[in-house]
């Protein structure tokens, strides 16, 4: 049972870490002189107009100074948590303290993501917002399925 919880926690951490990495890459690549591959792919999937792309880039550029330190804080906090877990003198309180820093950094990032979504959402049509909701629903299902499979693997 304890191994199941550990594996599920690990799977969830990997998913969140991957998502955070994608956000970091997107924040870094959306800038003057860069291709913004992630942004381009999203724009293509949503069939954004040239005006929508331009408006979204303006919003993202405007938030870049807010996003960079938040993404960096999450990255550093996760690195520190991994180090705390692997430390030779690791103990429950040091790991909990490091995990609390991750939670705090992710909470700060979540608030910024909410603010960013509030600015970007009005640029989209209802159909485009529905596509985003559908994608999020599929991602949640994929994460749930991955965690369930990992749990089943431990039971065997």
pLDDT (tens digit per residue) in 20-78:
445 544 544 444 444 467 778 888 888 999 999 999 889 988 998 999 999 999 999 99
Tokens matching residue 129:
């917002």
| Helix and strand numbers, DSSP H then E, in the chain | 5, 0
Report the chain's mean pLDDT, rounded to a whole number.
Answer: 80
Q: Please determine, for residue 5, whether its predicted confidence score (pLDDT) is greater than 60.
A: no
Structure confidence by residue, pLDDT tens digits, 79-117: 999 999 999 999 999 999 999 999 999 999 999 999 998
Summarize pLDDT for 118-133 with one digit per residue, the tens.
999 999 999 998 888 8
The pLDDT value recorded for residue 23 is: 52
Write the CB contacts of 109 (distance below 8 Å, at least 6 apart in sequence): 20, 23, 70, 71, 73, 74
pTM of the entire predicted model = 0.65
Confidence of residue 13 (pLDDT cuts 50, 70, 90): very low
CA distances from 7 to 3, 32, 86, 116, 152 (A): 6, 41, 16, 32, 10
């Amino acid at each position: 049972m304890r191994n199941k919880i550990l594996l599920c926690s690990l799977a969830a951490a990997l998913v969140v870490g991957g998502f955070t990495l994608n956000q970091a890459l997107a924040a870094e690549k959306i800038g003057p002189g860069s291709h913004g591959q992630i942004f381009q792919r999203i724009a293509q999937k949503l069939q954004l107009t040239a005006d929508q792309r331009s408006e979204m880039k303006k919003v993202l550029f405007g938030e870049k100074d807010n996003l960079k330190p938040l993404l960096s804080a999450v990255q550093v906090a996760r690195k520190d948590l991994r180090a705390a877990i692997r430390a030779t003198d690791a103990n429950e309180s040091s790991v909990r303290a490091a995990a609390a820093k991750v939670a705090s950094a992710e909470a700060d990032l979540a608030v910024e993501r909410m603010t960013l979504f509030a600015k970007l959402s009005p640029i989209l049509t209802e159909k485009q917002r529905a596509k985003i909701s559908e994608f999020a629903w599929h991602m949640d299902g994929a994460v749930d399925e991955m965690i369930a499979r990992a749990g089943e693997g431990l039971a065997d």
